[in-house]
Amino acid sequence: MALVMNLLLLLFSVALVRSDQTTTPLKSFKIGENVTYDCIDIYKQPGLDHPLLKNHTIQVKPSRIQLNSQIGNNITHKNKLKCPDGTVPVLRNTKEFITNVNLFAEKYVHPQSADSPGTHIAGVRSHAGPYRGIQAWVEAVDLKIEKDQASYSQIYLGSGVNQQINYISTGFMINPGFFGDGRVWSYGFWKGKDGKGCYNTACSGFVQVSRTIPIVQPIAISPTESSLLRPFIHQDKNTGNWWLTHLGPDEPYGDIGYWPKELFNLLDNGANMVGVGGVVKASPSGSSPPMGKGTFPDGGRRSSAIFANIDVLNSDFEQSKINSFPIEILVDSPKCYGLRVGTVKWYIRTRLGYFFNYGGPGGNSCGV
């Protein structure tokens, strides 16, 4: 019975997304072949169609918390998306996209435990919660990824009790099976109360509030400079909702939107785990894609990909370095992917921080 209900709910949410796209958007932006954003009334956005959000009141701004001064993104969002007042950009999802994404999300058990076959990780994690947030510099890199592979760089937080898990992650992914192209995309993912959830706006749940920065978009990578973005996930002090922000020059804070607290049952008082790292998914034939920059972290700190100035918010919403807490290093396939914790006193621009290099070339013998 419960299973039938779950399946019905899933079908229902997919149907809602599709039907909503027949409503006329106020304005649309086509930023490339197969990439169109519709500006939808913020109160009628498909994200709100989730059954758990029937009584939800939209929060238009997070309650501001004090963060250490931090220069933000190195990547400017160049797409020049600007929806009219009262509307928000929503990626126009094709039928094919929604099907692919939902199938993928069902299999996406727990990306930081390498449980599912063909998944490999290189990252750090801390279990000493509760945490109210996490932020880090994440590097976006163009990599050659086959159609049936995926490569991510992510920050995440979550809580697990028995077989249940609540989880939120964001960062970059190259995932041709989703997007139909090999570009780097920003993304957000959640799994909530009933073990369900999804990517971006492929199903309902995420509430977009920024008029200019959609949760999911292709990232323009500079061929010569490191392309760095500073995503930040944090719980709102007053409402308990989980905000996604790109710290940077775009908006002073680029508050993109949030996952409402109603979606979760294990995150009310923070998350008991946080982490950052690279994740890859091999093709069914067993060929693992490159991770990071595709190079092992055995050269200079620019020669492999980097996560830098990794900070968390503690249970009192105070910012500290992730290594003020006990951390674990997770590398499940050292033959193919490595991780090296930063040892020099180095900082990106303003502030000293905990950082590491990671990645590797992948290949055909990374194990399952």
**Footprint of ligand NAG on this chain (CB under 6 A)?**
33-34, 52, 54-55, 74, 96, 180-181, 225-226, 228, 348
* Residue 100 near residue 199 (C-beta atoms within 8 A): no
For residue 180, the minimal CB distance to ligand NAG (Å) is 4
* Residue 167 near residue 199 (C-beta atoms within 8 A): no
For residue 211, the minimal CB distance to ligand NAG (Å) is 25
* Residue 277 near residue 358 (C-beta atoms within 8 A): yes
For residue 46, the minimal CB distance to ligand NAG (Å) is 17
DSSP-derived 3-state class of residue 131:
strand
User: Which CB atom, from 85 or from 225, has the smaller least distance to ligand NAG?
Assistant: 225
User: Which CB atom, from 148 or from 181, has the smaller least distance to ligand NAG?
Assistant: 181
User: Which CB atom, from 181 or from 332, has the smaller least distance to ligand NAG?
Assistant: 181
For residue 145, the minimal CB distance to ligand NAG (Å) is 14
User: Which CB atom, from 226 or from 304, has the smaller least distance to ligand NAG?
Assistant: 226
Element housing 18 (H / E)? helix 2-20
User: Which CB atom, from 34 or from 324, has the smaller least distance to ligand NAG?
Assistant: 34
User: Which CB atom, from 119 or from 227, has the smaller least distance to ligand NAG?
Assistant: 227
For residue 179, the minimal CB distance to ligand NAG (Å) is 8
Burial bucket for residue 245 (CB in 10 Å: 0-12, 13-18, 19+): buried
For residue 364, the minimal CB distance to ligand NAG (Å) is 27
* Residue 255 near residue 218 (C-beta atoms within 8 A): no
Nearest to 175 by CA among 162, 167, 165, 186: 186
Q: Which residues contact 235 (CB under 8 A, 6 or more apart)?
A: 132, 133, 241, 242, 243, 267, 270, 271, 313
For residue 164, the minimal CB distance to ligand NAG (Å) is 19
Other CB atoms within 10 A of residue 228 CB: 21
* Residue 307 near residue 348 (C-beta atoms within 8 A): no
> Which parts of 94-141 fold into alpha helices (H)?
95-107
User: Which CB atom, from 228 or from 271, has the smaller least distance to ligand NAG?
Assistant: 228
